[in-house]
Structure 1
Amino acid sequence: MRIHAQSSFHDYFSANESIDRGWLKNGLLAVRRTKGRHAPWDETVESTTDVKNSKATEDKPEQVKPGVVATAALLDNELLPHRRRWQQKKAAQAEPTKEDEEQLPLDASSRLATAAAAMPDTASLRRKMATYLSLSKPRLSFLILLTTTSAYSLYPIPDILSSTNSVADANTTLSTSTLTFLFLTTGTFLSCASANAFNMLFEPKYDALMTRTRNRPLVRKLISPRGALLFAVACGLTGLALLDFGTNPTVAALSGLNIFLYGFIYTPMKRISWLNTWVGAIVGGIPPLMGWAAAAGETATSEHHSWKDLLFSDASLGGWLLAGLLFAWQFPHFNSLSHTIRDDYKNAGHKMLAWMNPARNARVALRYSIAMFPLCFGMFYAGLVNPGFLVISSGCNLWMLKEAVKFWKHQGAQDSARGLFWASVWQLPLVLVGALLCKTGIWDGFLGGKEQVSIYEDLDEVELVPVGEGLGKDEHVARTESMQTPHQNNHNLAMLGFKPPS
C-alpha cells in the first residue's frame, strides 16, 4: 500500500504541468515581494542573498535565464488589482513629468489633410476639395471673417444690413447693403485663403518639424507646390477683384496689404527675429479696418470717397478701436499658444519669445491683456455701443486678465499657458457678439426709445417739394439736415460730406 500510494502521488504530480512551471515557488516569491513593498526597511536595506545574486548577475550576465523576465512580469500580473493600481500611481508620481506633455490638438489644416488622405480613390473630387480647403486654414479664416463682419455691422448706420437701401445713383459708389455684405465676406475669405496658402507654400520643411503642422497637405505631398501656388494666386486675385467691385478700392488695398504682410513678411521673419509676433498682430488688426471702410464707403459721396476719408476722418475712430482690440488680443492668445509648443518652434528654428525669453513672453501677454479694458471703454466713449457692453466686455476681460496674471506669475507652468489660451479663444467672440448686441440704437425701435421717435419730430418743419421740381445741391443738403437728429448731423459733419443713409 505504501508503494502504491507513493507511486500514485508521484504519477499525479508528475502529470500536473503547474508543478513543472514552479507555481508554488513563484507564489511564495510573490508573497515575499508583496510584503517587501510594504516594509519600509526592505526598500533601503538589501539582504545578503540579493547582494550575492546581484553580484553574480553582474559578473555573469550571460547566465541570466530568459524566463526570469517573464517570471517577474508574471509576478506583477498576479498582484491584486488594487495593489497593481497603487504601484502604477506611485511609479507615475516618481517619474519626472514634462510640464506641458499634453499638446494642443492639431490645427484645422492638418485635420483636413488627414481626412483627405483617408478618403477612398472613388471620392477623388471630395479629396481634392478637402485638400485645397486645408490650404486656406479654415478655422483662422473664419475667425478673421468674424472680425471683419463685426466691424462692418458696428458701423453707426441703422439700416446697414437692410436690403431696402436704394441702388447707388450718380453720387454714390456702391449698391445695396446686402450685396456689399456678400462681396465683403466672399472676398475676405478668398484673400485669407491666399495668404494662408502662401504661408504654407514657403515653409513645408519647417512644418514637418512641428507636431501640430507635420500633417499639412504640402508636408504629406497631397498637393504639389505648383498646385498650391496656383491656388494661392487664384484666390488672391479673385478675392481682391470682388472686394474692389463690391465694396471700394480702399478695402481691396487693405486686403492686398494683408496678403503681402502675412505671406511675404511675417512668414520669413519667423526665422529672423522674435518681432515677427508684432507683424502678425498688425495682420490681425487690418480686417476690422476693412469691414469699417466697407461700411463707410456705402455713404461716401463721389467727392469724399478716398482712402483718407474712409480711414482718417473723425468717424473712422471706431474702426481703429476695433483694429487695436484685435492687435492687443493677438499677444495673450499667441504667446500662450507658442509657450505650449515652444519646443516645436525651437526645433523648427522659429524665433519666438516663448523659448528665447519666457519671462518677457509672459509680460507681453499680461500687458496687452490689460490694454483690452481701455480699448473696450473707448468703443463706448465713441458712441458705438451702449453701457451694457461695458458689463459684458469687463467680465470677459477680467477672465482673460486673471489667466494672464497666472501665466505671468508661473511663466507658463502649472497649466497656466493652456488656461490663458482657452480664455483668449472664448474672450474675443464673446466681446464681439456683446458689441453687436449692445450697438447704439439697436434696441430703440424695440423698446420705444427716444432716438427712434426723434427722427420724425421735425417732419412738420420740412417743406414738401413737388415731384419733378429740381433741387440745388445746397437746398437738398439743407432740407435733408432739417430731418435729422443732432446725432446724425454731427455724424455727417464728421464724415466730411458723407450723405445720410436713405
Structure 2
Amino acid sequence: MITLRSSTRRLGGARESFLLCSQCLHRTHPLLPVTSRFPSFSRFQSSIARQPAPSSLNKAYFSSNKGETSTVPQPGLFTSLSPRNSSHHPAREESSPSTSTTRSQPELPHRRRKRLKESAAQGHVAEPVIPPDASAQLSNFSSALPKTSLRRKLAAFLALTKPRLSFLILLSTTSAYGMYPISTLLTLDPSMAPLPTLSTSTLTFLYLTSGTFLSSCSANTLNMVLEPKYDALMSRTRNRPLVRGLVTRRAAVIFAIATAALGLGLLSLGTNPTVTGLSAANIALYAFVYTPMKRIHVINTWVGAVVGAIPPMMGWVAAAGQTATTGHDTWRDMLFSEDSIGGWLLAGILFAWQFPHFNALSHTIREEYKRAGYKMLCWTNPARNARVALRYSVLMFPLSIGLWWFGTVGHGFLVSSTVANGWLVKEAYRFWKHQGTSGTARGLFWASIWQLPILLVGGLVTKKGLWDGVWRNAFGPLPEDEDDDYVYYGEVSFGEAVGESPGPKSSAVS
C-alpha cells in the first residue's frame, strides 16, 4: 500500500518541522495559512488540525491493488508532523474484506461441469446428473410474472403436469400405435370390419394422443397433491407449484378431476373401452398406489415400472380396435390374443427401461431421498440398485429380438436396437462396477435418455411391411404381387365364389 508522505519528512521529519519558516511551508503547500514568519510548533500544529483534508483526494488512486481500498481514513496532508503520528502503522492501511470492491464472479456453466467431472473422477464428490426439473422451471417462470397475469396461472398449472414425463408417455403410446401391423389382405369373411382409412386412423390418433396427455396430467397432478410437504424436503422438487404456493390445493384437485374426466372421455369416444379402462387404471395406480408406497417399501420402483409399461399397451390396443371383428373385440381378445404379443413386448421394453434410468437418476440424490423418507434402493441397498439396473439393461436384448421374431418390425430393427442396447448395457456395467462413482451414474442416465427414443423411432421406421407399401404406392405392385387375377381354392376360384363368370384360367387346379 502506497501512502502519502509529507514533504517535510524529506527534510528531517516531525522533529525538525518547526525549523521551517512559514514562507517555505507556504511555497510548498499554498493552502496553509501564513500567520507568522516564525510560528511556534503549537500554533503550527493547531493550524494543521484546523485545515480540512482535501475532498478531491482519491484514496484508491494511491493503492497498489486497484481492487482494494483502505477502510481507515487516509491521514491528513501533514498529519505526520504530529509527534503522535510520527511512526508508520502498516496495520491501519490494510483493506477490509467486507468493503472490498472485488466481487466473486459467478462460475461459468462449462467450468462448473468440468470441475464436477474432475472431482467425480477422483472420487471426492458424487457428480450430479439430473437436469433441472421442468416443473420447477415453470414455477420459477410463473412466480416472476404479475399475480394477475393469465400467463402466470397457465404456467403454474402446466407445471403440475410434469411436461417431460407426459411427453415420454405420449412417445411410447403413439409409437406402439404406429407399430401395430394392420393387415392389407382381403378376406372372404363378409362380417369382417372394413380396414381403417387414413381419415379414421388420423382421427383415432388425435383422440388417443389428447386423451392420453390429459390423463397423464391428472395422474401427475394428483401425485403432487398427495406429497407437497415431502417435495419441500428435496432440492429437485422444492420449487414445484404447490410447494411454493403458486396454486392452491383445492385448485389442483379440481384441475386433476377435470383433466381426468376430459381425457377418459376422449379416449372412450375415439378409441375403445379397453383403452379407456387401461388409462383409468394407470391414473389410480400412479396416484394412489405408487405415490404412498414410496415411503413404505422399495417395491414402489417396480410398481412405477408397471405404470410406465401401460401406455404402449394403450397405443397397441387402440390400433387393434380399428381392425377388430364384430364379436371378437372384447378386452380379453385385445389383451391376451396372439395378435397382442407385440404390445406386450413393447410394454416389457418400457418396464425394463425404468430401472437403468431411475436407478442412475436416484443415485445422485440418494441422500435427499433418505432425508425425505422415501424407500429407494439407491440408499437402502446401493449394491442391489446397481445390479438391478444392469439386469434389466441386459433384458432389452431378448425383448427387442422378440419384436422382430414375431413380425412386428423388419430386419433393420436388429441393427439399431443392438447398437442402442449395447450402449445401455455398457454404461450399466460401468455403473455396477464402480457403484455409481467416477461419473458412471451420469453415463447411464444419458444412455437411457437416448436409448429409448432410438428403439421406438427405429421400430417405427423398420415397421414390418412399411417400405413395401411405399414401394407399391410409388412404383406399383411388387413382383410377387403380379400373380393371377384369381386365387384358387381347390377347384373353385375366388371369382366363381362371388358369382363372376370363370376366366380363361378357371379350369386350372391348384
Offset of residue 177 of structure 1: 1.3
Offset of residue 120 of structure 1: 2.9
The answer on whether the counterparts of 1:158 and 1:441 sit within 8 Å (CA) in structure 2 is no
Q: Does 1:113 align with 2:139?
A: yes
Offset of residue 97 of structure 1: 7.8
- Distance verdict in 2 for CA 1:121–1:392, change over 3 Å: same
Offset of residue 237 of structure 1: 1.3
Residue deviations 1:53-108, cap 9 Å, x none? Answer: xxxxxxxxxxxx7976849999x99xxxxxxxxxxx9xx98xx9852254523211
Residue deviations 1:309-355, cap 9 Å, x none? Answer: 00100111000000000000000000000001111111111110001
The answer on whether the counterparts of 1:151 and 1:289 sit within 8 Å (CA) in structure 2 is yes
Residue deviations 1:349-383, cap 9 Å, x none? Answer: 11100011111000000000000001000001011
Q: Does 1:463 align with 2:495?
A: yes
Paired residue secondary structure (2:465):
coil
Q: Does 1:182 align with 2:187?
A: no
2:169 to 128, 144, 151: 144
Please, which runs of 5 or more residues in structure 2 have no aligned partner?
1-7, 18-24, 29-47, 66-90, 104-114, 185-190, 488-493, 501-510
Q: Does 1:413 align with 2:430?
A: no
- Distance verdict in 2 for CA 1:402–1:67, change over 3 Å: farther
Higher Rg: 2
The answer on whether the counterparts of 1:105 and 1:212 sit within 8 Å (CA) in structure 2 is no
- Distance verdict in 2 for CA 1:354–1:364, change over 3 Å: same
Q: Which residue of 2 aligns with 1:284?
A: 308
Q: Which residue of 2 aligns with 1:441?
A: 465
- Distance verdict in 2 for CA 1:137–1:451, change over 3 Å: farther
- Distance verdict in 2 for CA 1:22–1:181, change over 3 Å: closer
Q: Does 1:6 align with 2:31?
A: no
Alignment map for 1:320-469 (pairs within 5 Å): 320-447=344-471, 452=478, 454=480, 457=483, 459-461=485-487, 462-463=494-495
- How far apart are the structure 1 equivalents of 2:410 and 2:255? 43
2:154 to 121, 125, 129: 129
- How far apart are the structure 1 equivalents of 2:227 and 2:163? 18
- How far apart are the structure 2 equivalents of 1:426 and 1:352? 24
Q: Which residue of 2 aligns with 1:234?
A: 258
Residue deviations 1:201-249, cap 9 Å, x none? Answer: 0000111111111111100111111110011111111111111121110
The answer on whether the counterparts of 1:106 and 1:213 sit within 8 Å (CA) in structure 2 is no
2:181 to 139, 144, 156: 156
- How far apart are the structure 1 equivalents of 2:281 and 2:9? 102
Residue deviations 1:427-484, cap 9 Å, x none? Answer: 0001110111111111114446998554563533432788xx9x9xxxxxxxxxxxxx
The answer on whether the counterparts of 1:173 and 1:297 sit within 8 Å (CA) in structure 2 is no
Paired residue secondary structure (2:357):
helix
The answer on whether the counterparts of 1:99 and 1:414 sit within 8 Å (CA) in structure 2 is no
Percent identical across equivalent pairs?
A: 55
Q: Does 1:247 align with 2:271?
A: yes
Paired residue secondary structure (2:395):
helix
- Distance verdict in 2 for CA 1:456–1:131, change over 3 Å: farther
Q: State the Cα RMSD in Å.
A: 3.8
Offset of residue 296 of structure 1: 0.7
Paired residue secondary structure (1:218):
helix
- How far apart are the structure 2 equivalents of 1:412 and 1:340? 8
Q: Which residue of 2 aligns with 1:104?
A: 130
Residue deviations 1:130-180, cap 9 Å, x none? Answer: 111111111100110110111111000167xxxxxxxxx995899921111
> Residue 210 of structure 2 aligns to which amino acid in structure 1?
T
Offset of residue 394 of structure 1: 0.5
- Distance verdict in 2 for CA 1:276–1:464, change over 3 Å: same
The answer on whether the counterparts of 1:441 and 1:451 sit within 8 Å (CA) in structure 2 is no
> Residue 495 of structure 2 aligns to which amino acid in structure 1?
E
- How far apart are the structure 1 equivalents of 2:312 and 2:10? 98
Paired residue secondary structure (2:353):
helix
- How far apart are the structure 2 equivalents of 1:69 and 1:353? 52
> Residue 445 of structure 2 aligns to which amino acid in structure 1?
F
- How far apart are the structure 1 equivalents of 2:448 and 2:181? 27
2:339 to 310, 315, 335: 315
TM-score by length of 2: 0.71
The answer on whether the counterparts of 1:110 and 1:215 sit within 8 Å (CA) in structure 2 is yes
- How far apart are the structure 1 equivalents of 2:230 and 2:161? 18
Please, which runs of 5 or more residues in structure 1 have no aligned partner?
25-64, 78-88, 160-168, 472-502
- Distance verdict in 2 for CA 1:101–1:389, change over 3 Å: closer
More helix as a share of residues: 1
> Residue 146 of structure 1 aligns to which amino acid in structure 2?
L
- Distance verdict in 2 for CA 1:17–1:217, change over 3 Å: closer
Give the aligned length.
402
- How far apart are the structure 2 equivalents of 1:364 and 1:278? 11
Which stretch has the larger CA shift, 211-220 or 97-106? Answer: 97-106
Paired residue secondary structure (2:466):
coil
- How far apart are the structure 2 equivalents of 1:232 and 1:239? 10
- Distance verdict in 2 for CA 1:152–1:131, change over 3 Å: same
1:191 to 180, 197, 215: 215
Q: Which residue of 2 aligns with 1:58?
A: none
